[in-house]
Chain A
Amino acid sequence: EDKVVQSPLSLVVHEGDTVTLNCSYEVTNFRSLLWYKQEKKAPTFLFMLTSSGIEKKSGRLSSILDKKELFSILNITATQTGDSAIYLCAVSLLKGGTYKYIFGTGTRLKVLA
Chain B
Amino acid sequence: DTEVTQTPKHLVMGMTNKKSLKCEQHMGHRAMYWYKQKAKKPPELMFVYSYEKLSINESVPSRFSPECPNSSLLNLHLHALQPEDSALYLCASGSTRDGYTFGSGTRLTVV
Contact residues of A with B, CB < 8 Å? 31-32, 34, 36, 41-45, 48, 50, 88, 90, 92, 96-106
Q: Taking the nearest CB of chain B, how far is it from the CB of A23, in angstroms?
A: 12
Q: Are B96 and A42 in contact (CB under 8 A)?
A: no
From the candidates B42, B55, B103, B104, name the one contacting A103 in the complex (CB within 8 A): B42
Q: Which residue of B lies closest to A102 (CB)?
A: B45
Interface size (B, Cβ < 8 Å)? 21
Q: Does B48 belong to the interface (CB within 8 Å)?
A: yes
Q: Give Cα A42 to B93, complex, Å.
A: 13
Binding site for A on B (CB under 8 A): 31, 33, 41-45, 48, 50, 53, 55, 88, 90, 96, 99-105
Residues of A within 8 A of B42 (CB): 88, 90, 103-106
- In angstroms, Cα B2 to Cα A104, docked, is 26
Closest 6 CB pairs between A and B? Answer: A103-B42, A42-B102, A98-B55, A98-B50, A32-B96, A48-B99
Whether B55 lies near A45 (C-beta < 8 A) is no
Give 6 A-B pairs besides A43-B90, A48-B99 with Cβ atoms closer than 8 angstroms: A41-B104, A43-B102, A90-B42, A96-B55, A99-B48, A101-B45
Q: Indicate if the CB atoms of B105 and A42 lie closer than 8 Å.
A: yes
